[in-house]
């Protein structure tokens, strides 16, 4: 999960944020920053942690060390209190259909707990899975 704080998003409701990212070309431009060959196979409205969200299924190639790996990802997007939340699941393209139900179950059990520390300036990106809050 990637969490980004942006003061300009404080008053943006999750439904409005989902609507904005689902507009034609918006998500594609986000994906093309890192994946020039990305293809958006599916997108739509959903919920994440009981609030409005958008979801995307994308296909792309990851390249590193002279290797190329075709991947498919399921990504969820929502907002809250100035934060943008991107929950992402990736796997090899040939495995996606068989593991998608597992990804969806994991997303269904996702919840927002605790408070995030608001930075004094933004935008700021936080990669979830880092040190516990008490260690920050």
pLDDT band at 5 (very low <50, low <70, confident <90, very high): confident
Does residue 123 register a pLDDT over 80? no
The pLDDT of residue 125:
57
More confident: 83 or 16:
16
pLDDT tens sequence across 36-53: 999 999 999 999 988 999
- Whether 135 has a pLDDT exceeding 60, the answer reads no
Using pLDDT thresholds of 50, 70 and 90, give the confidence band for residue 136: very low
Q: What value does the mean pLDDT take over residues 9-22?
A: 93
The per-residue pLDDT for range 67-122, each reduced to its tens digit, is: 999 999 999 999 988 888 899 999 999 999 999 999 999 999 888 765 655 555 55
All domains in the chain, ordered by first residue:
2-112 (3.40.1000.10)
SS (H, E, C) the chain: CEEEECHHHCCCCHHHHHHHHCCCCHHHHHHHCCCCCCEEEEEEEEEECCEEEEEEEEEEEEEECCEEEEEEEEEEEEEECCEEEEEEEEEEHHHHHHHHHHHHHHHHCCCCCCCCCCCCCCCEEEECCCCCHHHC
Residue 117: what pLDDT?
Answer: 53
User: What pLDDT score does 131 carry?
Assistant: 36
């Amino acid at each position: 999960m990637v969490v980004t704080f942006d003061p300009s998003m404080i008053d943006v409701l999750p439904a409005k944020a989902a609507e904005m990212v689902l507009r034609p070309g918006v998500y594609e431009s986000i994906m093309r920053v890192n994946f020039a060959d990305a293809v958006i196979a599916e997108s739509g409205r959903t919920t994440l942690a009981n609030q409005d969200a958008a979801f995307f299924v994308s296909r792309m190639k990851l390249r590193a060390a002279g290797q190329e790996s075709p991947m498919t990802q399921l990504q969820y997007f929502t907002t809250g209190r100035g934060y943008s939340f991107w929950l992402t699941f990736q796997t090899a393209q040939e495995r996606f259909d068989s593991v998608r139900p597992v990804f969806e179950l994991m997303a269904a059990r996702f919840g927002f707990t605790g408070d995030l520390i608001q930075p004094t300036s933004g935008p700021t990106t936080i990669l979830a899975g880092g040190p516990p809050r008490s260690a920050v």
